[in-house]
Amino acid sequence: MARPKPPAPTPVSADDIELALYEAMRRGDVERLMALWSDDDEICCIHPGGARLLGAAAIRASFEVMFGNGAIDAEPHRVRRLESHSSAVHSVLERVRVMTPDGERFAWVVATNVYLKSSQGWRLVAHHASPGTEVEAQDSPEAVSTLH
């Protein structure tokens, strides 16, 4: 039987949801994490190298498996925001701390988080993450690129 979502505070911005999202991942708190998602049936999540997960049940199951191995120590860096009055798209460089036999290491993930404002307040509707590279991890200013 599915457990009811704990009440989520009504966030005043997409940034509030994003902070709560990464805090829930660092705590391994699937209940809190799922409370940040919209109730819409079409929510989706793609983990690095993973399949597209549609709906709350599939997303919950994936995080339960991941949290079964421990919390995810991810921090958002270099967030780029595109926001309107009722939607926000954040391009995020995630720094994920992992323990290896050789000690602590960091992995980089490039993610897009999509938020919508509804009667529930701001909620997450999509999270799409891909493996990052050392180029993203550099602290130097981003290179200018030319599109063709």
Predicted local distance difference test score (pLDDT) of residue 141: 44
Q: What is the pLDDT of residue 25?
A: 95
Residue ranges covered by each domain of the chain? 14-133
Look up the pTM and report it.
Answer: 0.81
CA angle 108, 96, 122 (to 5 degrees): 95
CA distances from 89 to 1, 5, 57, 86, 110 (A): 33, 24, 23, 11, 13
Give the whole-number percent of the chain exceeding pLDDT 70: 82
Cβ atoms of residues 25 and 111 within 8 Å? no
Tens digit of pLDDT for each residue in 7-62? 555 558 999 999 999 999 999 999 999 999 999 999 999 999 999 999 999 999 99
Going by pLDDT thresholds of 50, 70 and 90, the confidence category of residue 122 is very high
Alpha-carbon distance of 6 to 68, in angstroms, equals 20
* Structure confidence at residue 2 (pLDDT): 56
CATH class of 14-133: alpha beta
